[in-house]
Structure 1
Amino acid sequence: LAVLLVVDGPLGVGIFQINRVKGVDETVGRERVFEEWNSFSRIVGFRITNEEIEGWGLSGDPNRPTIAEQIILLIDGDAATPIALFDGDAANARYLLNDVTNLVYHLRQDADVLVIGPGGGRDVLAALASGQANVDGVELNPLMVDAVNQFDHLSGGIYGLPNVNITIDEGRNFIARADRNWDIIQSSLVDTWAATSAGAFVLSESNLYTVEAFQDYVSHLSEDGIFTMSRWFHGDRPTETLRMTAVALTALERMGIEDAPNHIAVVIKPESLIATLLVKRTPFTAEESERLVQLTQEFGFTALQIPNRVAEPPLRDLVYNANRANFWENYPSDVSPTTDDKPYFFYTLRLDNLDDWRYEQGVSNMNNQGVFVLYSLLGIVTALALLTIILPLWWKRRQALTQTPGGALYLLYFTGLGLGFLMVEIPLVQRFSLFLGHPIYALAVILFAVLLFSGVGSYLSGRLAHAHPERTATWVIPVLLLLLTVYAYGLTPVLRSLLHLELPARIGLSVLLIAPLGLLMGMPMPLGISVLDRTRPALIPWMWGVNGATSVVASVLAMVVSLNIGLRGTLLVGMAIYAVAWLAMLGIRVAVNRTPISERSLELATGD
């Protein structure tokens, strides 16, 4: 089966062809002309004909052309982007400047532009149509670039133009490592709707939408540059727009800008449910504010925030609030600014009102359904762990547990190791995601390093333990806790300082940073098994099962904890669990030392 899948992928033999994705038949009424997979996505292209050209936030422009042919690229069955139609004359694409997402191009001319997530090339074409000098694009998915280049009879080879440069990289990572500035940085609806049918998108970290990310964007603007981002706007509860604005305000204030409201503007196209945020490194001038008012009137947009001109609710209640924390606390959804430590931009539910996902609108509603799935999964795996391992152990081996030196402390110890290991590993994987440039790299590298060096640590523990594994365990875990404390508070600045290195060097450094942690994390489990082997070996299979079952629970629990208190908080919870396991081992050590050797020998002989 694996061979067939490999053949089907790169060679395009088509043995396995997927038509139904996320409950929808993709082929109904559409001609599929492109399909490619990579390690993190599936891109499908469909040909559409004789339709009005598509634009998410276009105003009612009578000159919008009707197309003879266009290719729509579908990412993972949901997110869609058209391949830009370019005939070699950018002036023929000036209709794109009537789009609310491209408002920035009316404020600057002959600029150096960076587009984050250019996708099918629409934003790149808009920049060229507005007369900008040079356009850089940073695209995460190489399949997107392949598709645009493959259909060059439609795209006009836009990605190969002399003044267009496309880099395959993660946008935030690329900007953080850049040693230059741009006049315009644009990010329009990047990664919108990916995985929404499964509701899983809300559960993934989004490093493009954090306070630190916005600081990177603004710091890489020229003196009078503008950063623009577009997200969804739903009138009754514009959660994404409010959170995006909160992130921008917080980022500016952290950069020492005291009059942050004078540096931002927000304009929406209500019919399209799209809001565009404009952030300047310097305050908007009176002329720029007046120009924005004119543009909103000309194109039928609605201004929510324009410095010294417009301040409409609900943005006004956030932007000009002297106590924004109070606004975040009282708003029905969580619109507090996301950070690199808690980078879940699309997770807008409050822990005390999780049922609120039913009342969110549009994309927020679909995304937050994933939270319901997550909490349901946590309940299911916890119940299964109790029913299949913990309760049977207590029912059938209760007497053996109580008669063993240390007794139920073994249950506490191995439960702690099962929970603690994953509560540490999962936030570490997420922490390295930005450093390595993609979650796929972080998962592969960090998981590999943790498992490899944990195995080495397990092997070394046998040599360190000698005849007293309980003594070794009681000093190994404190050393592990000390190292975890250093990682919890010192890892982020170290990774940040090394971000300029090339990917192979960053991978190598990641492995080196994880190695000592992996060594120590691999020791407590075999040390505990060695102690049991000397006291009550019949309990070893049960404790192994307890450890495995609680590890499964921890894989879900870590995500729940991380969503609500952040990556560092999750790491600290993992440390607290390891500390409980250490206390349990201290109790076991005392009990073992108090038990006469003759009594331990009898227990070994009977096995019970």
Structure 2
Amino acid sequence: TGNRDEIAHLDFTTMALPYFIRKPGKTLVVGAGGGSDVLLALKHHTPEIIALEANKQIADLLLGPFSDFTGQIYSRPEITLEVRDARQYLQSVDTRFDLINLSLLDSPHMATGGLQSASESYLYTTEAFSLYLSHLTESGILAVTRWLKLPPRDALRVISTALETLREEPLLRGVEKHLLFIRSWRTTTILLSKFPFTPEELARAETFCDERSFDLVYHADMPSSKANRYDILEAPSFYEGTAALIGQASKDFIGRYFFDISATTDDRPYFSHFFRWTKGPALFRQLRKEGLPMIELGFIFVLATLIQAAFASGLLILSPLSCLRWKPRSSHPTGPQPRISDFLTTVLYFASIGLAFMFLEMALIPKYTLLLSHPVYSTSLVLGVLLVFAGFGSLSVRRFQAKGPGFLWISVGVIICWVGLQAGVGDALFNLAMGWNLLGRFALALLFLSVLSFFLGWPFPSGLRLLAKTSPGLVPWAWGINGCASVVGAVLGKCLAVSIGFRLLMFIACFFYLVALITYYIGFNRKPTLL
């Protein structure tokens, strides 16, 4: 309605801290949503506000049916609403901001339950933080607010990622002086400043916290006695964790911490994934004491699916073997009777190409989400291009296979070179193209993926054609093996992407294609003779 007294309660949230530290002139709100962060900026007379909302449906509701309910805030002259992804927007403009605000972009229930642990987010990576810092004025602030989790992990990962980014800035010295961290009983707010916080600003932060019973967690000159005074925990774990991350032994602290709080990157953008395989047994024992708050359910669901898929696939692959009836060699109806080596070769070849194909697919879908700014666009394009152009590649196999026995080397060689190119220059190419419009980015992705997809279509029909000559009775079984490996590969690929990142996952896919290549030329290389 324009009455600032109606939103006075927003000053009693941790998100209000930047407005009491400095007076931002130009503010960028990432994930504007219903507009609480925009209202907070309005309350403090911010003259220019850019509100980013990636979800067009939410933007349409705020500009349409719910515009009166929100006080028509997005119609005000000082506010510009952009329906764009934050990183795509920042890559396309040269504007500098006094404040970039990322506040509570996740649902509190999903955050607490760990349901997003297997979901990628490119807003909280070192590359994203570097982009934010490059668009701040000399006195600009990056503010990140997350839901509080116990034991500490979300906030510590923000700190870890921020410090990794700050340490790479050549003009910044004494990174701890650029950091300010507070918490309430429900949220944590972390401020990163290009210019060190002054004693006057730190004093204002202390006053802000004392008046609201918020805990001042960390700043460079703060004694530990000032931490953990209001919402009292058993130990000042947020302060201790932050101090350890800033200290000289930060890598040791990250390595031995119960959760994975290492910096997230565009290669492994799973900010909410904190599970550590090395801490698995300890976590299981801890579950008996503290239960669900200690685990990330999203990743557990993926692991449970993997176990089911692996068990079912193994059963379906092995059960046909129990029905075999070995006939005299001379009376085998399909010609040469398969040997044990033929069974092993068939499993190795068709399982390898099934796993490799799905590993690439499960790496490319989230990877191209960064370029296309939306997982629906990425999934539709990557799956469509892979299936269509792999089909074209399969149609061409007969022609290329007839030209000579070395044709499959071409396919695997192109795949390996493509993966090396994607790993080497893919990120730089994405950063260059992210400022383009959506059609241009679609065209680039289509061009890049179609080359790979065409050659991905060669190994499967090539193996079937050769198997049909050497052991035709195993062809239906080979189809089943490849199908089961694809199901397992999709889930296993997701687990590996979350745990080790996209580059390593694609290199593992290349390894399996090399295994399949060797198997093709050695394992299948026998003439169909009667045994």
TM superposition score normalised by structure 2: 0.89
Name which of 81, 84, 90 aligns with 1:175. Answer: 90
Corresponding position of 2:193: 280
Structure 2: distance between partners of 1:284 and 1:358: 43
CA gap 1:318/1:450 in 2 versus in 1, 3 angstroms:
same
CA gap 1:358/1:457 in 2 versus in 1, 3 angstroms:
farther
Structure 1: distance between partners of 2:303 and 2:519: 29
Tell me the C-alpha RMSD between the 2 structures: 2.5
1:374 is the counterpart of 2:289: no
User: What is the 5 A alignment of 1:576-591?
Assistant: 576-588=511-523, 591=525
What is the deviation of 1:134?
Answer: 1.0
User: What is the 5 A alignment of 1:291-302?
Assistant: 291-302=204-215
CA gap 1:198/1:279 in 2 versus in 1, 3 angstroms:
closer
Structure 2: distance between partners of 1:319 and 1:425: 35
Corresponding position of 1:159: 74
Contact 1:264-1:307 at 8 Å conserved across structures: yes
Structure 1: distance between partners of 2:25 and 2:250: 34
CA gap 1:546/1:261 in 2 versus in 1, 3 angstroms:
same
The DSSP-based 3-state class of the residue aligned with 1:131 is coil
1:499 is the counterpart of 2:434: yes
Contact 1:117-1:140 at 8 Å conserved across structures: yes
Structure 1: distance between partners of 2:87 and 2:286: 32
What is the deviation of 1:391?
Answer: 4.4
What is the deviation of 1:329?
Answer: 0.9
Name which of 382, 388, 400 aligns with 1:464. Answer: 400
Contact 1:106-1:130 at 8 Å conserved across structures: no
Name which of 325, 346, 359 aligns with 2:251. Answer: 325
Q: Deviations over 1:192-220 (max 9, x none)?
A: 34756985421110111111111111111
In the alignment, residue 503 of structure 1 is paired with which amino acid?
A: L
1:413 is the counterpart of 2:328: no
Structure 2: distance between partners of 1:364 and 1:571: 33
Contact 2:394-2:457 at 8 Å conserved across structures: yes
Structure 2: distance between partners of 1:308 and 1:196: 31
Q: Deviations over 1:517-551 (max 9, x none)?
A: 00111111111111112222221111011001100
1:336 is the counterpart of 2:241: no
Q: Deviations over 1:307-340 (max 9, x none)?
A: 3235553244334310211010111111111111
User: What is the 5 A alignment of 1:35-434?
Assistant: 87-109=1-23, 111-149=25-63, 150-193=65-108, 195=110, 200-234=115-149, 236-256=150-170, 257-269=172-184, 271=185, 273-310=186-223, 312=227, 313-354=239-280, 356=283, 365=293, 368-393=296-321, 396=324, 402-403=338-339, 408-434=344-370
What is the deviation of 1:395?
Answer: 6.0
In the alignment, residue 437 of structure 1 is paired with which amino acid?
A: S
Deviates more, 1:494-503 or 1:478-487: 478-487
Contact 2:24-2:99 at 8 Å conserved across structures: no
1:560 is the counterpart of 2:474: no
In the alignment, residue 321 of structure 1 is paired with which amino acid?
A: G
Structure 1: distance between partners of 2:454 and 2:471: 27
What is the deviation of 1:239?
Answer: 0.8
Contact 1:111-1:134 at 8 Å conserved across structures: yes
In the alignment, residue 363 of structure 2 is paired with which amino acid?
A: P
Structure 2: distance between partners of 1:314 and 1:494: 40
Structure 1: distance between partners of 2:30 and 2:295: 22
Contact 2:22-2:201 at 8 Å conserved across structures: no
User: What is the 5 A alignment of 1:425-464?
Assistant: 425-464=361-400
Structure 2: distance between partners of 1:364 and 1:253: 35
The DSSP-based 3-state class of the residue aligned with 2:28 is strand
In the alignment, residue 560 of structure 1 is paired with which amino acid?
A: C
| Corresponding residue pairs, total | 506
In the alignment, residue 190 of structure 2 is paired with which amino acid?
A: L
Structure 2: distance between partners of 1:367 and 1:178: 40
CA gap 1:179/1:297 in 2 versus in 1, 3 angstroms:
same
Corresponding position of 1:22: none
Structure 2: distance between partners of 1:328 and 1:364: 22
Structure 2: distance between partners of 1:432 and 1:533: 37
The DSSP-based 3-state class of the residue aligned with 1:185 is strand
Name which of 508, 511, 523 aligns with 1:573. Answer: 508
Structure 2: distance between partners of 1:212 and 1:346: 17
CA gap 1:196/1:309 in 2 versus in 1, 3 angstroms:
closer
Structure 1: segments with no counterpart, 5+ residues? 1-86, 604-608
What is the deviation of 1:280?
Answer: 0.4
What is the deviation of 1:229?
Answer: 0.6
Contact 1:199-1:366 at 8 Å conserved across structures: no
Structure 2: segments with no counterpart, 5+ residues? 228-238, 328-335
Identity in percent = 28
TM superposition score normalised by structure 1: 0.78
In the alignment, residue 454 of structure 1 is paired with which amino acid?
A: A
CA gap 1:191/1:127 in 2 versus in 1, 3 angstroms:
same
In the alignment, residue 354 of structure 1 is paired with which amino acid?
A: G
CA gap 1:275/1:98 in 2 versus in 1, 3 angstroms:
same
The DSSP-based 3-state class of the residue aligned with 1:152 is coil
The DSSP-based 3-state class of the residue aligned with 2:435 is coil
Structure 2: distance between partners of 1:477 and 1:110: 54
Deviates more, 1:530-539 or 1:339-348: 530-539
In the alignment, residue 213 of structure 2 is paired with which amino acid?
A: G
Contact 2:382-2:449 at 8 Å conserved across structures: yes
Deviates more, 1:577-586 or 1:308-317: 308-317
Q: Deviations over 1:380-405 (max 9, x none)?
A: 10111110124424763889774388
Structure 1: distance between partners of 2:337 and 2:37: 66
What is the deviation of 1:349?
Answer: 1.0
Corresponding position of 2:235: none
Structure 2: distance between partners of 1:202 and 1:317: 26
CA gap 1:322/1:434 in 2 versus in 1, 3 angstroms:
same
Contact 1:474-1:586 at 8 Å conserved across structures: no
What is the deviation of 1:300?
Answer: 1.6
